[in-house]
Amino acid sequence: MKKIASFCVNHDTLLPGIYLSRVDGDVVTYDIRMVKPNCPPYLPNPVLHTIEHLFATFARNSSFADQVIYFGPMGCRTGFYFLVTGMEHGEVIALIQEIFSRIAVFDDTIPGAACSAECGNYLEHDLPGAREWAAKFMPIIESWTPEKLKYAE
Ligand SMILES: [Zn+2]
């Protein structure tokens, strides 16, 4: 089978940050990498899950709501995929920075996690953990620029 493009990125030299993964027509995929590959600790699943709920909610309630296509976790628990359309790279970076800074201090009910009807595993959440990981990620992304989106060859 054909090796998909994201498996061709050299994971041994990758550092945490925001990267441009792929462009499919109008749809642009960004990799939000919070953990250096193969260097534990990885995002614990409850943290990954809570960040997923919060980021998706904030993105879909932002001024770019109509341009957000998808936000979801990487199976390796080192970060997230963020798919958008019709946004400048700088706007995407600014949105990611804003949302992570909000997650870092979020102290309210986790959206979409109140009961079993709302989520596939509504008890598996960790809000303090999500805050902690978001706060730890902020210094890495706060000076991110469109020039830094490109993966090293
Ligand atoms: Zn859920």
* Ligand 1 center to 51 CA (angstroms): 10
pLDDT reported for residue 3: 79
* Ligand 1 center to 133 CA (angstroms): 18
pLDDT reported for residue 10: 85
pLDDT tens by residue, 63-121: 999 999 999 999 999 999 999 999 999 999 999 999 999 999 999 999 999 999 999 99
Which residue shows structure tokens 């061709």? 8
Across 43-51, average pLDDT: 98
What fold does the segment set 15-148 form as a domain?
Gyrase A; domain 2 (3.30.1360)
* Ligand 1 center to 45 CA (angstroms): 11
pLDDT reported for residue 5: 74
Helix, strand and coil content of the chain, in percent to the nearest 5, comes to 35, 20, 45
In 116-144, which positions are buried (b, 16+ CB within 10 angstroms) versus exposed (e)?
Answer: eeebeebeebbbebbbebbeebeeebeeb
The ranges assigned to domains in the chain are: 15-148
* Ligand 1 center to 130 CA (angstroms): 14
* Ligand 1 center to 126 CA (angstroms): 11
pLDDT reported for residue 12: 85
| Helix, strand counts (H, E) of the chain | 4, 4
Q: What is the pTM of this model?
A: 0.94
How many degrees, rounded to 5, is the angle at CA 120 between CA 126 and CA 56?
A: 65
Distance of CA 86 to the CA centre of its chain: 18
Residue 6 has pLDDT above 90, yes or no: no
pLDDT tens by residue, 129-151: 999 999 999 999 999 999 999 98
